Amino acid sequence: MPASTANNPRRKEAAPRKVGANDMGKLPPQALDMEESVLGALMLDKEAFSMVSDLLRADSFYSDKHRRIFEALVSLSVKDQPIDLLSVTDRLRTLGTLDEAGGAAYLSELTRKVASTAHLRYHAQVVAQKATARELIRMAAEVEEKGYDDTQDVDELLEEAEGKIFAISQRNQKRDVVKIDSVLSAAFSRMHKAAENKGNISGIPSGFTLLDKITSGWQKSDLIIIAARPAMGKTAFVLSMAKNIAVNYQVPVAMFSLEMSNVQLANRLIMNVCEIPGEKIKNGNLTQEEWAQLDHKVGELSNAPLYLDDTPAMSILEFRSKARKLVREKHVQIIIIDYLQLMNANGVNFGSREQEVSIISRNLKALAKELDIPIIALSQLNRSVEQRGGTGITGKKPQLSDLRESGAIEQDADIVCFIHRPEYYGITNDDKTSRSLIGLGQIIVAKHRNGATDDLWLRFRAQYAKFQNEDDAIPSDELNGVFHSKMNQSVEGGYVETSDGASVSGDGYAPPF
């Protein structure tokens, strides 16, 4: 070694650097030895395939020849034919993929590598996990590539990435076989709940007896549209329903309000649960008894699994992201949107508003199906209801053609309900039965993809922004008309609707919030 080098530590030769995996590049996650073990075990034990069929798919295998072998195994299983070395070899030969699978000699070698099938399930889980890791890497690479594209909308990219991750996580959720006793326990629990609801409720009960009788409860994957003209009580109806579902049945509910703030929604819920007029909630002018009632009842709300979101002008992409998170983290079982026409399709320039609403409704139906929960969306009706001629209770009755801005809403929805209150139009008696219609709202099930259509009546208590079953107990002074629905009477009827949406008279108040 030269003296200069020996005397200068800075010029010492560097020790050879160890070569790591990063120097050779990265290999996709794989477990070829596990793949061989699984395939060999499947050809040794005719009952083994049923042990792993829920975990593995052909693309779970990294090796192309292993995919071919597994495809042959699946083909034999579907036809209920025996699975062994000879049958798999013959099946691959029939499919013309025997050479691609490594030939008969390779199949024989696979069976010789396996001593038993004792650890088959564990080996299959490792293969499935490696496949999931490869899928995540592939998805991340696609997102990275699109992230460098300046023309790509970032919000769309975020929604797409989250959707793919959600799909991967859902596909890998497996359910184990359970003993009959636990299933019977769940079945009896549902039967008891149905009995308490006075009906055979297979879905999520709304708390409205006659409506649940028609629908059997809100069903999973259904898109439900609830439509009405302004001032008919759409928000009051869904808030009453959300209260029933979350408070009475303890079912997690999420409500997205694009029109009202969370505080306004909370005020309405307090009115609904505590039965304190909205005017007093706003100014805090409560009696001692009302404060006690508020303290007693508000606990029901605070403990309810009810989640509120008041993001204005929310896009369908943002909604989908939040909905997935609520289902995943909060186990939300039903979602309510107030209301559909206030959503947007992420700022994309459509030819017309009708096309945009069509995109939104289709996305809502697809999301209900993806999350396997009912989604309820409020919708406005067009002015043709007011312009329609006719007298009596049916004169202003909504029709499917009245749905505002899009015929696609009717097509995509599984159930379409209308809220109709003849009292709003000055019709206080049924012209056929002479029945008083004051303080009543008609719920019209105009479309029901999986059941019958029908009409029903609910009691509407305007001063509490509350719908309830007609036969539920209420104070006698309300039945006598002291607090009937004044917000919907005409001027001739003695009630005037104010500029802020409230209606006042000598005896009652209907809040605008």
- DSSP assignment of 144-174 equals HHHHT-TTS-HHHHHHHHHHHHHHHHHHT--
pLDDT value at position 299? 76
- How crowded is residue 512: how many other Cβ atoms within 10 Å of its Cβ? 16
Pick the CATH number of 192-510 from 3.30.530.20, 3.40.50.970, 3.20.20.60, 3.40.50.300: 3.40.50.300
> Could you give the 3-state DSSP secondary structure of residue 69?
helix
Nearest Cα to Cα of residue 425 among 459, 380, 401, 390: 390
Helix (H, G, I), strand (E, B) or coil at 321: helix
Q: Decide if pLDDT at 66 tops 90.
A: yes
Q: How many CB atoms lie within 10 A of CB 248?
A: 14
Q: Where are the domains of the chain?
A: 32-152, 192-510
The topology (CATH level 3) of 32-152 is DNAb Helicase; Chain A (1.10.860)
Q: List the structure tokens of 168.
A: 């991967």
The reported pLDDT for the residue numbered 335 is 93
Q: Catalytic residue, from 142, 160, 259, 279: name it.
A: 259
CB atoms within 10 A of CB 411: 12
Work out the pLDDT band at 328, boundaries 50, 70, 90. Answer: confident
Tokens of 478: 């309300």
In tens, the pLDDT along 78-127 reads 676 888 899 899 989 988 989 999 999 998 988 888 877 788 888 988 99
To the nearest whole number, what is the mean pLDDT of the chain? 75
Two tokens at 470? 């007609």
Report the 10 Å Cβ neighbour count for 296. Answer: 10
pTM assigned to the model: 0.57
Cα distance between residue 434 and residue 432, in whole Å: 6
pLDDT at 333: 92
pLDDT tens digits, one per residue of 236-278: 888 889 888 988 888 999 988 887 887 788 878 887 777 777 6
Q: Please give the pLDDT value at position 492.
A: 30
Phi-psi sector, 148: left (phi>0), alpha (psi -120 to 50), beta? alpha
pLDDT greater than 70 at residue 8: no
Is 259 part of the annotated catalytic residue set? yes
- For the ranges 181-185, 212-216, 287-291, 301-305, which has the lowest average pLDDT? 181-185
Range ranked top by mean pLDDT from 207-211, 271-275, 380-384: 207-211
